A and B are shown apart, each in its own frame.
Chain A
Amino acid sequence: MIYKIRMSVVKEFLLLKRDLGGLIILFVMPLVLVIAVTIIQDSTFKTVSNSKIQILLVDKDQGSVSKTVFENLEKSSYFTVVTQIDHKAVTEEIARENVYRGKFQLAIVIPENLSSDLQTKVEQNVEKIVSNLGLTDSISTAEPQRIIKEKEVKLYFDPAVQMSFKNAVMSSIDKMISQIETKSIYSTFQKQLGEETINFEQKNFITFKEIIPRINNKEVLPNSVQHNVPAWTLFAIFFIVIPLSINIVKEKTQGTFVRLRTNPVSNLVVIIGKTITYSIICMIQFYMMVAVAVFLFPSIGLPSLNIEGHFILTSVVALFSGFAAIGYGILLGTVASTQEQSAPFGATSVIILAAIGGVWVPVFAMPKIMQYIAKSSPMNWGLEAFYDVLLRNSSFVEIIPQISLLFLFFIITTAIALFYDKKKRTV
Chain B
Amino acid sequence: MQPIIKIESLSKKYKDAEMYSLNDVSLDINEGQIFGLLGPNGAGKTTLISMLCGLVKPTSGHFTIDGLDYQHQASKIKKIIGVVPQEYALYPTLTARENLHYFGSMYGLKGSDLKDKVIVALDLLGLLKFADKQVQTFSGGMKRRVNLIAGILHNPKVLFLDEPTVGVDVQSRNAIIDYLKELNQNGTTIIYTSHHLAEAEDFCDTIAILDQGQIYAQETPSILIESVKDARNLEDVFISLTGKALRDDI
Contact = CB atoms under 8 A, between A and B. Distances in A.
Given A256-B91, A258-B89, A425-B56, A7 B78 contact: no
B107 A263 contact: yes
Nearest to B95: A14
A255 B106 contact: no
Given A254-B92, A259-B150, A264 B105 contact: no
Interface string A240-267: 0000000000000011101111111100
A106 to B, nearest CB: 58
A426 B101 CA distance: 30
A97 B218 CA distance: 93
A121 to B, nearest CB: 82
B91 A7 contact: no
Contact of A425 (B55, B91, B150): B55
Contacts of A258: 55, 85, 87, 89
A19 interface: yes
A254 B56 contact: no
B231 interface: no
B174 interface: no
B179 interface: no
A77 B103 CA distance: 68
Interface in B143-178: 150-151
A11 interface: yes
A4 interface: yes
B98 A14 contact: yes
A261 B91 CA distance: 15
A427 B108 CA distance: 29
Interface string B122-152: 0000000000001000000000000000110
A7 B150 CA distance: 15
A3 interface: yes
Interface string A396-427: 00000000000000000000000000000111
B contact patch SS: loop
Given A11-B102, A19-B93, A261 B55 contact: yes
A422 B142 CA distance: 33
Contacts, number: 79
B88 interface: yes
Nearest to A3: B110
Interface in A1-45: 3-4, 7-8, 10-11, 14-15, 18-19
A425 B53 CA distance: 12
B247 interface: no
A260 B150 CA distance: 11
5 contacts: A7-B101, A258-B87, A262-B85, A263-B106, A264-B78
Interface of B: 14-15, 53-57, 75, 78-79, 81, 83, 85, 87-94, 98, 101-103, 105-108, 110, 134, 150-151
Given A14-B93, A261-B54, 18 more contacts: A3-B108, A7-B105, A11-B94, A15-B94, A18-B93, A254-B91, A254-B92, A255-B87, A256-B89, A256-B91, A259-B83, A262-B78, A262-B85, A263-B78, A263-B103, A263-B106, A264-B78, A265-B106
